[in-house]
A = this chain, B = another copy of it.
Amino acid sequence: MSMKPLFRFAIPDARLDRSADFHYNAFMFSPIEWHHGVVRMLDQTRLPHEVVWVDCPDHQTVAKGIRELWVRGAPAIGIAAAMGYALGAQAIRASTHDEFIRQLKPIHDTLAGTRPTAVNLFWALNRMNTIVQLHKDRPVEEIKKRLVQEAQAIHDQDIQRNVAMGRHGAELIQDGDTILTHCNTGALATGGHGTALGVIFSAWESGKRIKVLVDETRPVLQGARLTMWELQQNKIPATLITDNMAGSFMKKGTIRLCLVGADRIAANGDTANKIGTYSVAVLAKAHRIPFYIAAPTSTIDFSIASGDAIPIEERNPEEVTNVFGKVRISPTNVEVANPAFDVTPAKYITGIITEEGVFKPGELKRKLGGSNRP
């Protein structure tokens, strides 16, 4: 594990040149990268107090990083899983294709078993499996190389999609808007630039004077720790609030629109996202405030008809009872519920911002159905 006291940009310049879409700014970095044969990730549990990069030497460490939230956010989880798969593949010593594929299976399964809700994880692993299938008549060493390339392609494409998403979404934002956001959906949650927060970055860069109201997002405080940090780095005006203040600020007329990310979107537009998103959506509707989701099409799961079928991860109760793993806030031996996500029905969602454009929830299947297949 390498400790580095200073923040480093993690997008190699070489990658910056590959996409015409790529609009570089001082804040566009990646929380994860393939780095000379290891997977380097920013340990986001230490933010905003410490900037610590972890070099994962094997796929088990990558899986641990996903489970323990060193890397989080649906798109970033997908990238991490792909890189973990590629990393695991490099370590396989196999003389035959069958042996290689047999040894890939537990690597896939370890990574697939880390977190159940974000569909990008499974989408990315499917892309990796497909590479193996497509090239099964090629030498094992070539497949290994192609797996690294595919993981990097998933990363690159995520950035390109986020920048495209930012361009589409920024059109919905007006000069002077105050935007409520929940959880963290910035560069930290993705391969770079971000989803919902990426839209905010794009709007800001285009010259719109906006303000952001940031839900702290209990229990893991991604809003307070990560979103406030990203907005502060980018000098975008932001105010931190506790989750339970959002309704009150809606009532006061402070908020012009709500903008959040997604962990899995069902075919009908029902959206699983960080716990608390559903409450924000219901409150927004009660106050006639537009409520938008921003997510790449890789987050849409057309195999699921509605949100009822999305598995919701129940996490460790200590996330609720111990802030930052340090300070206990409740008596000991209490019962705790800790669903990490909730599902917002499509009827509460004004629009879904993707790299392909902005769609009403009911339009997804007709306009995008199948476009996100690996």
Contacts and interface: CB of A to CB of B under 8 A. Distances in A.
Contact of A283 (B215, B248, B279, B339): B279
A48 B327 CA distance: 12
Contact of A48 (B243, B331, B335, B342): B331
A268 interface: no
B242 A219 contact: yes
A237 B337 CA distance: 13
Contact of A337 (B239, B286, B328, B335): B239
A162 to B, nearest CB: 23
Which range holds the interface residue count of chain A?
35 or more
A282 interface: yes
A49 interface: yes
A24 interface: no
Interface string A203-226: 000000000010111110100110
Contact of A247 (B237, B278, B334): B278
**Secondary structure at chain A's binding surface: helix, strand, loop or mixed?**
mixed
B279 A279 contact: yes
A246 interface: yes
A367 interface: no
Given A218-B243, A240-B320, A323-B327, A334 B282 contact: no
A100 interface: no
Given A216-B218, A237-B335, A331-B229, A320 B276 contact: no
Interface of A: 48-49, 213, 215-219, 221, 224-225, 228-229, 232, 237-249, 251, 275-276, 278-279, 282-283, 285-286, 320-321, 323-324, 326-331, 333-337, 339, 342
Given A239-B337, A248-B275, 19 more contacts: A49-B328, A217-B244, A218-B218, A224-B320, A224-B329, A228-B331, A229-B330, A238-B334, A239-B335, A240-B337, A247-B342, A248-B276, A248-B342, A249-B337, A282-B283, A286-B286, A323-B324, A323-B329, A326-B327
12 contacts: A216-B320, A216-B330, A218-B218, A218-B242, A218-B244, A239-B336, A239-B337, A240-B335, A244-B279, A245-B276, A247-B342, A251-B342
